[in-house]
Amino acid sequence: MASASSTFKFLSLLVALFAVAEMAISGDPDILSDFVVPQNATIIDGAFFTFTGMRALVGAPPVSAFKVSKATAAEFPALNGQSVSYAVLQFPAGTTNPPHTHPRSAELLLLVDGSLQVGFVDTTNRLFTQTLQSGDMFIFPKGLVHFQYNADSQNSALAISAFGSASAGTVSLPTTLFATSIDDNILAKAFKTDVATIQALKAGLKP
């Protein structure tokens, strides 16, 4: 009969192997073909590999609130299996892209126009910040909480972000914490405040 110690070691090994397996399959899996054809596709030609969704941004009037225009596998199916996607970020004066994470990819941001204050927090809770000018690039490591803020009260900013996944995913901290069904008492204890404050924060996120 196996001892408690050997049973514990065996279970620990299983947990470790499972963790390694999870790391190995994280992000986009490799595909065994040149590209992935959707099941409902009948004709594959150059149009399949072309995304025209960003045309709407050309010559468009300025936006009044922060806006993200995405080209991910959801909008552009040809990206499926290619481990790449893009987003165009439009920042009117004084707007922010609130703290968030991308669980499946790092983000490489290119500031096309204007200025931005950007930053991320690593797993030791160290904050890294920088003020970007047009032409600058900044990398947000995979899975870390980060933000972008246009502190200019007069001018807008425009950035393009590249991701190493066709579906990087976005977890917005304000939405995740205060626009879901997490109990008010749990949030109040976590933030060392009262329920009334939590409810006020939740109310502020409602459309």
Which residues carry a binding-site annotation for Mn(2+)?
100, 102, 107, 146
Question: How many whole angstroms separate alpha carbon 74 and alpha carbon 163?
Answer: 14
What are residue 109's DSSP bridge partners? 138, 161
Tell me the binding residues for oxalate. 97, 102, 107
Annotated binding site: 97, 100, 102, 107, 146
Q: How far apart are CA 197 and CA 102, in angstroms?
A: 28
Burial, 183: exposed, middle or buried (Cβ in 10 Å; 0-12, 13-18, 19+)?
A: exposed
Cross-strand partners of 99? none
| 133: DSSP letter | E
- Inter-residue contact 76 to 106 (CB < 8 Å): no
Tokens 């790391």 correspond to what residue?
23
